[in-house]
Structure 1
Amino acid sequence: MMGMDKRKRIIFFTVIVPIIALFCHFPVVKAEELPASTVHLRILETTDLHGNMLDYDYRKKRETIEFGLARTATLIKKARNEVQNSLLFDNGDLLVGNALGEYAVKKYKENPKYFFHPVYKIMNSLHYDAATLGNHEFNYGLDFLLDSIKGAKFPYVNANVYVDDHNDVEVDDINFFNPYVILNKQVVDTNGQTHNIKVGVIGLLTPIFYAWDIEHVRGMAKVKSLVQTAEHFVPIMKQKGADVIVVLAHSGIGADKRLKDQEGNNLFNLSKVKGIDAILFGHSHSVFPGRDDLKNRPGINNEKGTINGVAAVQAGFWGNHLGIIDLNLQHINGEWKVMDSQSEVQSIFRIINGKKKPNVNPDPEIHALMEESHLNTLMYLEESNLGFPLSP
């Protein structure tokens, strides 16, 4: 027995103890110290389409490579295929602005009960996640607007247009539209793990629409500033579980000049509202990032596409660009945080030696879906000989 105990002691000190010592050199990694996995979330934007579903110029009565959602759709599908997680939004001024839009108004007046706006043949087929309203949505009155957006198979949001209750008390104000939506987005991280992220989407509209279409909204609606509205609703969205806040702002980077409240209605100040993670904007028919006039402006990073550190993008007009924001999210201390971002705009055409060349071909599915509406629009044009001046 003593011999056996001696052999066991020899094995213990010559084999087991060195193994234990070896493992003692490796620190124990706690679960919270493991590097956080990253979720790459791509956000896509169209804006100021003004009825231009096809790459067709109704004024010149010919095809074009310079605009049209039929070509932007090719960029959308490509951008989606490059990533695992994406969302698509429209930023308003969709319903009117070209011959197709005018044809839609005509059909609405003829039979509003069974009206379906033809733009939603395309928007629904592309599976937009949400949209907001532009100022031109109000051009033909609230009935036309409300009946038109019923055709959308995605939510519309606007937070700063309210029912006019004919008093100056704010606590009883009621939103005219749904102010925001919280989307439950299933995403896959860089380790292949699946997560559910709640993406809060809020819509804001430049208050200048009220002056431009006052005959349609006087006595029925009133409007508040972009900044004031965001400061009110962003905390509410956070309280209701939104992990990421995306603002759809139908406003240019600067406030409209006719507005008295310049400070409350410019994107620069809007981007300072705590809790906003991304801003998609429009209205002024410009692009961001990439504007030369903003290169040296403090607070604006023209390379990364941020305003006061917040990711932002503006996708031109009529579908001539696709806006893209790539967010890198990590789950830290129980919250999803934006660790980095990159914004860009992709054009559907380029200029080589002074000549315009297409970057993409039109999506044949869009052409097929729009064939009947397009032919009806051409017939309408022949009958009416319309022209279509546009304001931003």
Structure 2
Amino acid sequence: MSQLLHPISRRDLLAGAAAGALIMLHPFSARAQGNQAHLRIMETTDIHVNVLPYDYYADKTNDTLGLSRTASLIDAVRKEAVNSMLIDNGDLLQGNPMGDYIAYEKGLKDGDLHPIMKGMNLLGYECSTLGNHEFNYGLSFLDKVLAGANFPFVCANLIRGTELAANPRDDKLYLKPYVILDKKIKDGSGAEQPIRVGIIGFVPPQIMVWDLKNLEGNVKTRDIVEAAKAWVPQMKEEGADIVIALSHSGIDVKQGDMMENASFFVAGVDGIDAVFTGHQHLVFPGKKDFQSLDGVDTQKGTLQGKPAVMGGFWGSHMGLIDLMLERDGSKWKVVSATSEARPIFERLDNKNKPNVPDDKRIIAALEQDHQATLAYV
């Protein structure tokens, strides 16, 4: 079924700005012409069950983390753009005592909702991929968690069984390699136009080492770039206007086989328009990480010229990629892009100052899980 991409009336936005509201349209939305459209894609990555801004080890709140804080950015970010999507880049299920409590103490019965899925379903995510820590509690636990998601998970390089096919397209994959979402997007004139957004996902092949006990004999992995080169052409054949890569893999410019951090080379695959990265718990673009790497522009936020972003970890940042799209006949193409990693806190006078409040919907939805985790700890 065709869906509208979280549209906001351009007229309403401009009226709000004129009335003094603290809303600034992204330049792409402000200047889009009738044959153009602005699409904003928001990313979270490496949440590691930090849905709430609470450090269970220190037994106190922590203003540097929490999806409930990142979530408070969403409405504001959506108001800056006419069209938007929300996606996640993996490493959701392990990383704090709440994750251990659910996996080891409470358990999940068929039909139970994991706390992370409660939060993500509330926020309207449209797609996610798997991170390496999704496998820490075993495949059966993972399957039960994924069953509670109101959105698809994709992964193009995780194979069910022990055999790799001669052609990656013949692999018996554990999940769908990609999805193509049929959407409606508002162009610069305010008219709704159809667009097909393809999203493909990747996990580090090293899960077969890190979680050998849980995975041996059940699944295998394929090289990320090899899988991308195999599946992206099929996505284009099936009519994807744009292709977004969810690469739970960091940034490294030294190429090799079965790379753990392959996002730089994913960006070089023909047909991929934007790359969402993670895994390394760093920030891109920015002034600190990934400096002086050939082909990596830490100011513009590009890898081999393609827009890319890494949104920190534990909900510390929201990754944003803004695409200016232009209609070429009946198809859309990317003509310009910007990237940003927007933080939930700032460091002032040697203290962490939150930039945003909590999203009360998530706080309320996870209250029982939070109290149970405190008791567990």
With normalisation by structure 2, the TM-score equals 0.87
1:128 — aligned with what? 125
1:304 — aligned with what? 300
CA displacement, residues 104-151 of structure 1 (integer Å, 9 cap, x when unaligned) = 103554x53353211111100000000010000000111011111111
Q: Which has the larger radius of gyration?
A: 1
1:52 — aligned with what? 50
Report if the CA contact (8 A) 2:72-2:358 is conserved. Answer: yes
Matches within 5 A, 1:193-232: 193-232=191-230
Alpha-carbon offset, residue 165 of structure 1: 4.1
Pick from 287, 292, 300: which aligns with 2:288? 292
CA displacement, residues 19-55 of structure 1 (integer Å, 9 cap, x when unaligned) = xxxxxxxxxxxxxxxx762210000000000001111
Matches within 5 A, 1:1-392: 37-107=35-105, 109=107, 112-166=109-163, 169-170=166-167, 172-254=170-252, 261=257, 266-381=262-377
What SS is found at the alignment partner of 1:113? coil
* C-alpha RMSD over aligned residues: 2.0
Report if the CA contact (8 A) 1:304-1:341 is conserved. Answer: no
Alpha-carbon offset, residue 81 of structure 1: 2.0
What SS is found at the alignment partner of 1:93? coil
Report if the CA contact (8 A) 1:36-1:331 is conserved. Answer: no
Report if the CA contact (8 A) 2:130-2:155 is conserved. Answer: yes
Q: 1:263 to 1:94 in 2, by over 3 A?
A: closer
Find the aligned partners of 1:260 and 1:44 in 2 and give their Cα distance: 30
Find the aligned partners of 2:330 and 2:167 in 1 and give their Cα distance: 35
Report if the CA contact (8 A) 1:187-1:194 is conserved. Answer: yes
Report if the CA contact (8 A) 1:108-1:144 is conserved. Answer: no
Report if the CA contact (8 A) 2:163-2:220 is conserved. Answer: no
Q: 1:167 to 1:72 in 2, by over 3 A?
A: closer
Q: 1:235 to 1:75 in 2, by over 3 A?
A: same
Report if the CA contact (8 A) 1:108-1:115 is conserved. Answer: no
Find the aligned partners of 1:73 and 1:295 in 2 and give their Cα distance: 29
Report if the CA contact (8 A) 2:43-2:89 is conserved. Answer: yes
Find the aligned partners of 1:155 and 1:203 in 2 and give their Cα distance: 11
Find the aligned partners of 1:263 and 1:150 in 2 and give their Cα distance: 29
What SS is found at the alignment partner of 2:236? helix
Q: 1:175 to 1:168 in 2, by over 3 A?
A: closer
Alpha-carbon offset, residue 168 of structure 1: 6.2
AA at the equivalent of 2:246: L
Find the aligned partners of 2:165 and 2:200 in 1 and give their Cα distance: 24
Percent of pairs with identical residues: 44
Alpha-carbon offset, residue 297 of structure 1: 2.4
Find the aligned partners of 2:140 and 2:180 in 1 and give their Cα distance: 26
2:7 — aligned with what? none
What SS is found at the alignment partner of 2:39? strand
Find the aligned partners of 2:66 and 2:299 in 1 and give their Cα distance: 27
Find the aligned partners of 1:290 and 1:231 in 2 and give their Cα distance: 29
CA displacement, residues 272-316 of structure 1 (integer Å, 9 cap, x when unaligned) = 100001110101100100143534322122222111111100000
Report if the CA contact (8 A) 2:111-2:148 is conserved. Answer: no
Single out whichever of 166-175 and 193-202 deviates more from structure 2. Answer: 166-175
AA at the equivalent of 1:154: F
Report if the CA contact (8 A) 1:166-1:219 is conserved. Answer: no
Unpaired segments ≥5 residues, structure 1:
1-34, 382-392
Find the aligned partners of 1:248 and 1:281 in 2 and give their Cα distance: 7
Alpha-carbon offset, residue 339 of structure 1: 0.6
Find the aligned partners of 2:232 and 2:202 in 1 and give their Cα distance: 12
CA displacement, residues 230-279 of structure 1 (integer Å, 9 cap, x when unaligned) = 10000000111100100000011128x9x972669522221110000111
Alpha-carbon offset, residue 364 of structure 1: 1.4
Find the aligned partners of 2:159 and 2:55 in 1 and give their Cα distance: 36
Find the aligned partners of 2:299 and 2:51 in 1 and give their Cα distance: 30
Report if the CA contact (8 A) 1:349-1:356 is conserved. Answer: yes
Find the aligned partners of 2:256 and 2:239 in 1 and give their Cα distance: 35
Alpha-carbon offset, residue 191 of structure 1: 1.1
Q: How many residues align?
A: 344
What SS is found at the alignment partner of 1:294? coil
Report if the CA contact (8 A) 1:36-1:330 is conserved. Answer: no
Find the aligned partners of 1:149 and 1:334 in 2 and give their Cα distance: 35
